[in-house]
Amino acid sequence: MKISRSERLLELLQSLRRYRLPVSGRKLAQEMGISIRTLYRDIASLQARGAMIEGEPGVGYVLRPGFMLPPLMFSNVEIEALVLGSRWVSKRADKQLAAAASHALAKIAAILPDGLRNELDTNALFVGPRDTTTLEDIDLGLVRTAIRTEHKVAITYSDQNGVESSRTIWPFAIGFFESSRVLVSWCELRSNFRHFRTDRIIAVTWLDLRFPRSKQALIKEWRKTQGASAA
């Protein structure tokens, strides 16, 4: 399948990043499946766009670290993945994350060349509406902040039988499912990991108390106990 020139230039950048020492133009051309003359033109084009590619024919080329070429950051397939992911977040996540996804996509669109921007604007991958009966009333943004900063929160939770309980938890992950969202936490009441459906959390209160264990350690331990019983 023939790829666009933009995709070819991106692939060339990726190839150059794999080498710490100068690599010959002939070897690069063979990897890319293009002629040596085309390779020289592509190298010159990338250099004109600001890529820090040092070298010359017969000597070899090396890409100095730290360079990113915004207009060629994504292939067509990567754009499809970004758009679909953004649309999924806008349908399945809370309002704050949905807005952030839209803003991020707008920033990406602003740096794409016309051809790739058109691919983004005309993307035909869509996400269906979610079940609104499972939306939570709590501020999920506060919960995500607690996860990022490793702070405890207090919640009032109603189980599947409608029985309410007060818990102090250490939230460290959120699972997004088709019809629900689940907050993964260490529960001080049960002294164990528990999974709380966010639509059953009646209230959440920030506590100025840090986790006694790191989020990374909790995630690692939780992954070993995936069969933990439900809250």
For 25-47, write each residue's pLDDT tens digit.
999 999 999 999 999 999 998 88
**In percent, how much of the chain has pLDDT > 90?**
49
9, HSE (Cβ side, Cα atoms, 13 Å): 22
Taking residue 108's Cβ as centre, other Cβ atoms within 10 Å add up to 19
Residue 56 confidence class, pLDDT cut points 50, 70, 90: confident
Q: Which residue has the tokens 């150059």?
A: 16
Closest C-alpha to 77, from 7, 28, 134, 1: 7
Q: What is the pTM of this model?
A: 0.65
Write down the pLDDT at residue 231.
Answer: 45
- Give the residue-averaged pLDDT of 14-26: 89
* pLDDT of 49 over the 50 cut: yes
CB 73 within 8 A of CB 116: no
Buried b (16+ CB within 10 A) or exposed e, 116-143: bbebbeebeeeeeebeeeeebebebebb
Residue 84 confidence class, pLDDT cut points 50, 70, 90: very high
Task: Specify which residues 158 forms β-bridges with.
Answer: 164
Residue 57 contacts by C-beta under 8 Å, 6 or more apart in sequence?
25, 40
pLDDT-wise least confident of 75-89, 108-122, 137-151, 171-185: 108-122
Residue 122 confidence class, pLDDT cut points 50, 70, 90: confident
- Amino acid identity, position 91: K
